[in-house]
Amino acid sequence: MRSYTVLATLILALSVLGLSGVIHAPSTLADDGGSRSGPGGAVAAKKKPKTDPALFAIGAVSASDVWTAYMFVAVTADHFVKDGYTRKQVEQLLKSRVGFNGKAVEALEKVATQVKITSGDKNHLRGLVGAYRALDAYSKSVLTYAADKSRANALASEAKRKAAWAKVRSALGIK
């Protein structure tokens, strides 16, 4: 298990907040007009897509939650390793997080399938869903480690942490 210090967490938080394009989904209306071929084959100037405030809010809140969920699982794991949490506390915390993730996935999948949005927005939502699922796998690996502090479980949890971080980074557009 990897140890995160408060300073490292703050530095990471500040660097993420300082990045442009953290929420890289276009959040545009699917029927934005775009460029059209005019008379004689001339191409009209492409209109700037309208920003849909609801989609932007979904993207912003989901992006924030995915990042926070990653940090929550990591800090919970670290605190357990340092004997700050009992196994029962870890179970309560991470099982509740997995429950929240499930509701978020359900909601994002409904938006992706039931709302007319651009393919870019759908891809962004799929990335967030993938991140939530990877976070669930990471959470479950920490629960397994909490039940049996073997080296094999520690290494498996570290692998799940790295996989979850890769999904979170990809979903948020973090380089």
Confirm whether 91 is domain-assigned. yes
In a domain, 92, yes or no: yes
Total domains in the chain come to 1
Query: Quick one: tokens of 123?
Result: 């891809």
Asked if the structure places residue 1 within a domain, the reply is no
pLDDT digits (tens, 9 = 90+) for 71-100: 999 999 999 999 999 999 999 999 999 999
Residue 160 lies in a domain: yes
pLDDT in tens, 102-115: 999 999 999 999 99
Range(s) of the domain holding residue 146:
6-172
The helix, strand and coil proportions of the chain, stated in percent and rounded to the nearest 5, come to: 70, 5, 25
Candidates 132, 134, 153, 135; CA nearest to 144 is 153
Above pLDDT 70, what percent of the chain?
71
Q: What is the pLDDT of residue 56?
A: 86
* pLDDT tens-place string over residues 140-172: 999 999 999 999 999 999 999 999 999 999 999
Q: Is residue 114 part of a domain?
A: yes
On whether residue 124 sits in a domain, the answer given is: yes
Separation in Å, CA 20 to CA 1, 93, 118, 120, 170? 30, 32, 21, 18, 14
